[in-house]
Structure 1
């Protein structure tokens, strides 16, 4: 930052929140955006708390101006706004604070949360992004939020800060709803993340959040289901039962699967067989969750399916009862 004193003076200067005319309002927004583009690391000792607070003040001023306007954001403002958003959000995420400690909590439903010091700025930037998406025509937005933008946004689900993932989830789903032409590509990108998690790394902080988005997407699928959607169930959702960290996202996973089965009950048998195939050997917490999921699925099986699956289901439950971990 070349001139902190001048910047602070600018930040602290009183400015009207409601522009007197569209032109002056746009110029005021552009002027504020230019200062918000500078990114603080919150780790550099040369950054002063006063400078950080000043930027937060300007971000707050910016969202106030956007909310006070009853008209859509002018196109001349959209480009600089998106550039500012990209500068603040698209950053290298830090490695896990303590990978060995976090791995100990893989089997917990509520894993350790790491809170980013950047959140005081990021929170408002996400609010600005959501406001921009809500109030701007999708044709204009797509000129600035291209495939690369969406991929970078998706990568932020790896953030360990649950506050960021919550804001990101709302924004990403809103973009999915609005960008009709990009829905297929966005589904594919999310699918790739889930596949990489299941079959490669088993490391990702945002699987539950992505599955929550998927739950609303599946809910909107029409019947009969397309073949690609059934393949997603069989190749992605069912294998998600096998990971060590399944407890973290099981609620969202079970909801997604229930939506499929409600739309096409015959898929219930496919899911039951898949769950039995990935049944854990020594993890009693996972077994309890899977037994509950099986119970819900069995209630909706038709008699023919149940007769075919009764023996393998009962065999597995018997093993659980006879286990040393049975309570």
Structure 2
């Protein structure tokens, strides 16, 4: 037995390090991935169970231990170790929430290292190029049971009363923020929500990173608008920007105004606008509340420039955003944009798509907008009257006709004299149009009555045109008539008459 013990003792010593080798030859920041290391030893000892002097050291060991990663794509592998890590992360979350005095200078690099090792990764490509965020279900992160606790731990760490940005800035730097922003392209909405909170806390704590964060968000949006039109985290980044814009000092810097014009407003042009329009509209309104003078030269003209021509859904969204802008607009600014604005609203009221017309007519249910319209009815009523009166007689949807009737009634109560004058002018204009239409029809009828089918002999005694040529000329005249009538061009028939006489 002694001989056997002597023979196998070196073998055991040689095998001992092998038991600590990773299953796969992968590392993260020097930490092994998918290891056989168990959590049993440290799990038996809770941080709260040891003395106050020993707690920081045990806390650091548990942070180092949580750098071990597991493959969640293999659902049945390492179940026991995955559960141990989840339990340890829960313990760390509770510890940073309730404990005091744990944040030593040695803690910061270990926390950042553990968080970086777990969350920073290459995101998988979308399963299909035809992925539609509005219709298709997103791909959820398989390792979310651990990632959720990592994010919760990091948020509690950043929110701790003992957190010192002056120490943490050595480790939470531009590289860290850049990797964090790349994760916003994750398809998992749960992760993007956590990232939103983390980035917001970092923006609030680290003054030196604020300009860098804004610049990188600027770059992401520019790439999204002009190159890829694909980025999953636009809504979350806009939500962060909403609170950032709210904190801008007055007067606004040229950099901030340029961001509004060059980055935020062009976001209205992308096809996936519906995914983030609410957050985008909030940012625009925040800018106008900060500086109302941006309304007339920038915001409203740009919105009208980008106004959708063929997508009714986007048109409804634009109308909603315009109403939000009008809710905060100053009367002095409203006067400058009213003509341009209500010409577009008149076109929307005339839209055959009932949702577009309905959304435009809902402006008259807004008390503040109604007060602005009433103060400037002498300008707005002439712009709107013709469209309202015509659609009230012609629109296919009875609900729209009822809404238009209410709007006309409101205008009549605002300025009855102007309303009556416009009604009389509209009727006389319609009579003149009908008279011109009748004259045009009579002229065309006379042209048709000409004996175009009969052979025409010129003064040289040439043979008359063949019936085939005459028929072709007749078809040409009829085609011209159809095109010119459709375009409402009153072409006098004597031109054609002279043409045939010259032949």
* Structure 1 portions without partners, runs of 5+: none
TM-score by length of 2: 0.60
Larger radius of gyration: 2
Query: Conserved in 1, the CA contact under 8 Å of 2:56 and 2:102?
Result: no
- Counterpart CA distance in 2 for 1:6 and 1:87 is 17
- When structure 1 is superposed on structure 2, of 294-303 and 261-270 the one drifting more is 294-303
Given the alignment of the two structures, is residue 291 of structure 1 paired with residue 319 of structure 2, yes or no?
Answer: yes
In 2, are the aligned partners of 1:39 and 1:88 still within 8 Å (CA)?
yes
Q: Deviations over 1:114-143 (max 9, x none)?
A: 321111000111112112222320011111
For residues 265 and 6 of structure 1, the distance between their equivalents in structure 2, rounded to whole angstroms, comes to 61
Match of 2:78 in 1: 48
Judged with a 3 Å threshold, the aligned counterparts in structure 2 of structure 1 residues 37 and 5 are, in CA distance, closer, same or farther, namely closer
**Contact kept? 2:222, 2:263, Cα under 8 Å:** yes
The separation in 2 between residues aligned to 1:61 and 1:293, in whole angstroms, is: 46
Which has the larger displacement, 86-95 or 1-10?
A: 1-10
Supply the distance in 2 between the matched residues of 1:221 and 1:72 (Cα, whole angstroms). Answer: 35
Aligned residues: 321
State the match for 1:183 in structure 2. Answer: 210
Aligned to 1:83: 113
1:10 aligns to what?
Answer: 41
SS of 2:230's equivalent? coil
Task: Write the mapping of 1:167-246 to structure 2, written as runs, cut at 5 A.
Answer: 167-246=194-273
Q: Distance in 2 between matches of 1:62 and 1:7?
A: 17
Pick closer, same or farther for the CA change 1:58–1:302 going to 2, 3 Å. closer
Rounded to whole Å, the distance in 1 between the matches of 2:46 and 2:328 is 60
C-alpha separation in 1, matches of 2:114 and 2:330: 55
The residue matched to 1:18 in structure 2 has which SS?
A: helix
Residues 242 and 286 in structure 2, CA contact (< 8 A), matched pair in contact too: yes
**Aligned residue among 120, 136, 139 for 2:166:** 139
Q: Aligned-pair distance for 1:73?
A: 1.2
Question: SS at 1:23's partner residue?
Answer: coil
Provide the residue aligned with 1:121 in structure 2: 146
8 A Cα contact 1:56 1:120, kept in partner? yes
Q: 1:20 Cα shift?
A: 3.8
What's the TM-score once normalised by structure 1's chain length? 0.90
Residue 149 of structure 1 is aligned with which of 159, 176, 180?
A: 176
Higher RCO by CA contacts (8 Å cutoff, separation 6 or greater): 1
Farther-moved stretch of structure 1 (16-25 vs 279-288) = 16-25
Seen in structure 2, the aligned counterparts of structure 1 residues 302 and 134 have a Cα distance that, compared at 3 Å, is: closer
Q: Is the 8 A contact 2:35 2:68 kept in 1?
A: no
